[in-house]
């Protein structure tokens, strides 16, 4: 008999071992996922539920630390799932069980449906940033000319981007809102030319205006990236739904001029908890509009109304967003929080961006919005080879 250790995270090592024994991929994945270690903080805990939690949690093999009105709960996903059954736990734990059930990560979606068809998520998906604006924070004014934008699109695709995100309105702090007609003049010719020149590329348009979104989708875009999370234009969900488009719902607060400032960077309930709650509201807006869940990606909005520590905390806790049941995109590219860590200027943060993308991949993100795809592509390829999805 030979007993050998398994390398890597337990759930990943078990999945690989099960595959080597001939198990089917989905069965191996779901079986191994039960071993995933998770931790939760519980607030507002009164004495009776707290006592029941300690008693039931011990029976289930969970680790629990309690204090006045709070508890920290850790254990494997499978054991936590046993606690998240309100029909089997004692009555004082019914509310906690329901909340835990909502918080536990869903099975990771394997595809993202767009207007151009499904996009596989089993390997990192890199989205190249193409700002056709005069005032974006790191590349404003460089690609205003349609030919320059087309050349940039070619560079992004050659660097490993499978999607290009075209934006015609800056959201840097203090930016003025761009009239819809001006935004269309910037975006539509670029979308049309890229769609003709690179028909295999999936095009996204970064806009908060339903009129721009509608025209862009008609021009060849397949995805709308709404950094307001459907907050600012009530017509946007219907436009996305009618077009059968994919959509990215990003967390933000405020309007164009202040959503990237620190004006809204107050999270008394914890940044991770409040971001998840507000993204949940965005998902409800999408659901009410009839947008199928398989068309929706969520983005925690790194740097948008978050200071450096808050953005880093979101990256550390990114796995918690899986409780929303949607694929996760991150856009750390050249952001201020990377500058706070590396002490570099915006144009010198592409290596730091790749590092943030690797951390995000390991914590469950599958889509990465970056200015320079090649550096992120190579870093993510190594990360995915070591820790497959």
The sign one gets for the Cα dihedral 130, 132, 135, 141 is positive
| Beta strands at 117-120 and 111-114: parallel, antiparallel or unpaired | antiparallel
**369 noted as active-site residue:** yes
Q: In the structure encoding, which two tokens stand for residue 351, read together?
A: 């290596």
- Residues 6 or more apart whose Cβ sits within 8 Å of residue 224: 204, 205, 207, 213, 216, 217, 236, 239, 240, 245, 246, 247, 248
| φ, ψ dihedrals at 131, nearest 5° | -90, 120
Active site residue 343: no
Q: Which residues contact 284 (CB under 8 A, 6 or more apart)?
A: none
Tally of CB atoms within 10 A around 54: 15
CA distance 389 to 378: 16
Q: Out of 116, 209, 231, 335, pick the active-site residue.
A: 335
Check: CB of residue 230 under 8 Å from CB of residue 282.
Answer: yes
Residues in CB range of 196: below 8 A, 6 or more apart: 220
- Catalytic option among 231, 366, 369, 377: 369
Determine the Cα–Cα distance for residues 375 and 97; give it in Å rounded to an integer.
Answer: 43
Residue 298 Ramachandran class (φ > 0 left, ψ -120 to 50 alpha, else beta): beta
Contact predicate 233/150, CB 8 Å: no
CA distances for 90 relative to 39, 74, 95, 98, angstroms: 21, 19, 10, 12
Which residues have CB under 8 Å from 200's CB, separation 6+? none
Query: Token pair of 91, please?
Result: 């009555």
- Please list the active-site residues: 335, 369
């Amino acid at each position: 008999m030979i007993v050998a250790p398994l390398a890597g995270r337990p759930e990943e090592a078990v999945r690989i071992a099960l595959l080597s024994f001939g198990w089917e991929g989905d069965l191996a994945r779901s079986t191994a996922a039960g071993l995933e270690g998770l931790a939760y903080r519980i607030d507002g805990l009164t004495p009776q539920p707290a006592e029941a939690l300690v008693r039931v949690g011990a029976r289930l093999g969970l680790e629990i630390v309690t204090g006045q009105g709070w508890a920290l709960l850790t254990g494997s996903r499978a054991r936590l799932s046993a606690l998240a059954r309100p029909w089997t736990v004692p009555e004082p734990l019914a509310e906690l069980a329901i909340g835990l059930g909502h918080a536990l990560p869903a099975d990771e979606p394997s595809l993202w449906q767009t207007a151009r068809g499904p996009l596989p998520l089993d390997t990192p998906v890199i989205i190249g940033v193409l700002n056709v604006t005069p005032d974006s924070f790191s590349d404003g004014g460089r690609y205003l000319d349609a030919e320059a934008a087309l050349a940039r699109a070619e560079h992004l695709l050659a660097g490993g981007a499978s999607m290009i995100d075209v934006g015609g309105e800056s959201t840097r702090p203090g930016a003025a809102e761009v009239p819809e007609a001006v935004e269309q003049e910037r975006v539509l010719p670029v979308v049309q030319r890229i769609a003709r020149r690179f028909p295999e590329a999936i095009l996204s348009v970064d806009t908060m205006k339903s009129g721009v979104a509608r025209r862009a989708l008609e021009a060849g875009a397949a995805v709308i990236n709404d950094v307001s999370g459907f907050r600012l234009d009530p017509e946007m969900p219907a436009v996305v739904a009618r077009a059968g488009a994919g959509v990215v719902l990003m967390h933000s607060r405020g309007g164009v001029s202040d959503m990237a400032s620190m004006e809204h960077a107050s999270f008394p309930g914890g940044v991770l908890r409040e971001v998840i709650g507000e993204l949940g509201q965005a998902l409800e807006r999408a659901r009410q509009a009839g947008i199928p869940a398989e068309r929706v990606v969520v983005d925690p909005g790194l740097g948008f109304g978050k200071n450096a520590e808050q953005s880093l905390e979101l990256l550390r806790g990114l796995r918690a967003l899986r409780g929303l049941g949607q694929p996760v995109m991150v856009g750390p590219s050249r952001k201020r929080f990377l500058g706070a860590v590396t002490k570099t200027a915006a144009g010198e943060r592409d290596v730091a961006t790749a590092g943030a993308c690797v951390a995000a991949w390991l914590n469950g993100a599958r889509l990465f919005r970056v200015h320079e795809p090649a550096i992120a592509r190579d870093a993510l390829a190594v990360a995915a080879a070591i820790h497959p999805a």
